[in-house]
A = this chain, B = another copy of it.
Amino acid sequence: MNFLDEIKNLKEQLKSTDKFDVNFNFNNIVITGMGGSGIVGNIFQEYYANIPVISIGDYGIPSFVNEKTLFIAVSYSGNTEETIDNVEDAKKKGAHVRAITSGGKLATIVENPIIIPSGLQPRSALGYMLMPLFNTFSAFSEDDVNEAYNVLNDMDKNHDEMKSQAFKIYENSYIPIIYGSKPFKSVAYRWKTQFNENAKTFAFYSYFPELNHNDTMPLKSAYRIKEYLFYAFESDNARINQRINITEEITGEQFTIIKSPTSNYFAKLFYLIHYADYLTYELALVRNVDPTDVSTIEELKKKLA
């Protein structure tokens, strides 16, 4: 599958019916993963709060993990060093360990893993990795899934807006800064990583209202400010939109506001994700870099092995 086909595959991934059997008592959920797999835990943590959910992306697990913990490891390759390390720790603590992976070592050390299709770039398998969590903890309706499917399908047919954004970034050698807000702070981070991996540019992120307590100062007066392009997501929370407007007004900086064509949470989540898929893919093309190339990351893994 070429990379454009991988991007277009996202809408099909929403149809996944994979789910975990969680028919036992647990007091908290710990999700672990790195990079393109780690974002899964961040999105889920931001969405689900009926019990404490801790998303980790690091060596070592929290000391509270025990037999009352549902411990979910997400690694597309199944061989992520940090994640394997976490699973071994969690098993020693007696946690209920589950896994989402396309194979690798993870599939062999965790019972009944959810096996998702292999052969994609990990960052192109976000739907496959996320749906089992949604299906297990808060199934979306068929209407939600259809709405999201249609929104993604429209983008797959026409993404001129993202192409034009990409050209603007390319022309000016902009560094994107993405300001997310609840419940899409983690999506702002996804944008950052897509810029890094697909387009090989730096990108940074923060969120409203937190940035009003720090970034707002340099937004008014910092050197190099004209080298950045600022994105913000339109919010359903009027107070957040007010903060965006007032921040623009008092700093004199204009943000590029990303508006979603839908108000459905599930569809909006995937719209915002897919926006950056196309934006960063198009930026790679216009920059003449290969969006699939992550050779530096692979080289690092080899040297660490």
Task: List residues of A whose CB falls within 8 A of some B CB.
Answer: 27-28, 34-36, 38, 49-52, 54, 57-60, 62-64, 81-82, 173, 175, 182, 185, 192-193, 195-197, 200-202, 204, 207, 209-210, 212-225, 227-228, 237, 239, 242-243, 246-247, 249-251, 289, 294, 296-297, 299-300, 303-304
Contact = CB atoms under 8 A, between A and B. Distances in A.
Most B Cβ at <10 Å: residue of A81, A82, A296, A299: A296
Given A38-B210, A196-B214, A216-B297, 11 more contacts: A28-B52, A49-B62, A195-B218, A196-B215, A201-B223, A202-B218, A202-B222, A221-B296, A242-B304, A246-B303, A247-B300
A101 B50 CA distance: 29
A296 B251 CA distance: 8
Contacts of A213: 34-36, 38, 193, 297
A193 to B, nearest CB: 4
Contacts of A82: 209
14 contacts: A27-B27, A34-B210, A38-B210, A49-B62, A50-B64, A57-B210, A58-B209, A59-B209, A192-B214, A202-B225, A216-B300, A221-B289, A221-B296, A242-B304
When all copies of this chain in the complex are counted, the total is 2
A304 B296 CA distance: 45
A205 to B, nearest CB: 9
A250 B303 contact: yes
B243 A304 contact: yes
Contacts of A63: 49-50
B182 A59 contact: yes
Contacts of A297: 212-213, 216-217
Contacts of A64: 49-52
A185 to B, nearest CB: 8
A201 B212 CA distance: 14
Nearest to A220: B296
B304 A246 contact: yes
Given A34-B213, A59-B237, A192-B214, A221 B202 contact: no
The 9 A-B residue pairs whose C-beta atoms are closest, nearest first, are A35-B213, A49-B62, A52-B52, A196-B214, A193-B214, A204-B204, A220-B296, A202-B218, A49-B63
A304 to B, nearest CB: 6
A234 to B, nearest CB: 16
